[in-house]
Amino acid sequence: MLKLAVFGAQTLLGRELVKVLEDRDASVLPLATGVLTREQEEGDLVVFAPDPSLLEGLDLIILAASPEGPELLENFSGRVLDLRDEPTEAWEPMPLAGVWPEGHRELRGRPALELVLALLPSLVQGFVEVSGTHLRSVACLGDRGIDGLMAQTVAVLKGNEPDIESLGYRAAFEVVPQMGRGALIEVRVPVFHGDLLILHLKSEEGRRLETHPAPMGVKWAEHPPTSREVAISAELLAHLSTSSDGQTGILTLGFDPILWGVLQPVLRVLAL
């Protein structure tokens, strides 16, 4: 049985990690990032204050949030997986397929968007050009995004100017396009969970766009998925609509950045 600790078990990502890992062949120690607040002590999930003695004998530490004392990890000899939304270590990213690679002690998570784009060749055959729009929810920021959007929404409804310090931008009741990255543009939308990636595909000359059977973790949908459907699905939901000649198509991909973008890869890489 894998013995591990989750730092930041009181956060949105940490709670989900503890929940899903405890249902697998793993012994999970939920750790706070520092001294516990009364709310954390009385919460539904029992969370322990971090202490070096608690890390003895563990195989793995997962960083869902940064411990207040970085020295806690200095003498830890096991594996470390950094899943923070803003990792501070330039470690090797998790593999796109397969389990934890031999010879690596530290790995960091990959952005959900990177995982989605890597799937494209296994979803659709015959395309040569891709462009599109990423409709991004605040869930990728974890508690900071959820709490920030909620606080901004309350402020706007009361007729006040929302505080943008926590998120860095006004999220409530706003759709905020970002500078394009090549043929892909990100648009931040005022929803809590559920990302949509709308891709425009063009096929090779003389070929039609064709779908492959859905790989593990993906489900072909009968209609373009909504952010609500995506938010409650542990699978990536996909839908392809092609032109009459099959030369062009719109591929809609819906995924939750935590349920699908983090939890699924973690279970895979840990072979759980």
pLDDT digits over 184-208, tens only?
Answer: 999 999 999 999 999 999 998 888 9
SS (H, E, C) 94-157: CCCCCCCCCCCCEEECCCHHHHHHHHHHHHEECEEEEEEEEEECHHHHCHHHHHHHHHHHHHHH
Q: How confident is the model at residue 53 (pLDDT cuts 50, 70, 90)?
A: confident
Please name the helix (run of DSSP H) or strand (run of DSSP E) that holds residue 249, with its range, or none.
Answer: strand 248-255
Q: Give domain limits for the chain.
A: 2-109, 114-142+177-257
Confidence (pLDDT) at 74:
81
pLDDT > 90 in the chain, percent: 70
Tell the burial category of 271 from Cβ atoms under 10 Å away from its Cβ (0-12, 13-18, 19+): exposed
Asked whether the beta carbons of 70 and 85 are under 8 A apart, the reply is: no
Confidence (pLDDT) at 27:
92
Confidence (pLDDT) at 75:
82
Mean pLDDT for 227-235 is 93
pLDDT digits over 127-184, tens only?
Answer: 999 999 999 999 888 888 999 999 999 999 999 999 999 899 999 999 999 998 889 9
Q: Which fold has domain 114-142+177-257?
A: Dihydrodipicolinate Reductase; domain 2 (3.30.360)
Residue type, 104: H
- Report CA-CA distances (Å) from 127 to 33, 149, 209, 244, 246: 46, 37, 6, 16, 10
Provide DSSP, 53-71.
GGGTT-SEEEESS--S-GG
Residue of higher predicted confidence among 206 and 268: 268
pLDDT digits over 17-49, tens only?
Answer: 999 999 988 899 999 887 766 665 556 667 888
Q: Could you tell me which of 230, 197, 217 has the C-alpha nearest to residue 265? A: 217
The pTM score is 0.87
Q: Could you tell me which of 30, 83, 133 has the C-alpha nearest to residue 264? A: 83
Confidence (pLDDT) at 143:
84
CATH number, domain 2-109, options 4.10.520.10, 3.40.50.720, 3.40.50.1170, 3.20.20.370: 3.40.50.720
Q: Could you tell me which of 244, 261, 149, 129 has the C-alpha nearest to residue 194? A: 261
Mean pLDDT for 87-111 is 89
CA gap 128, 51 in Å, rounded: 53
Q: What tokens were used for 237?
A: 């939901």
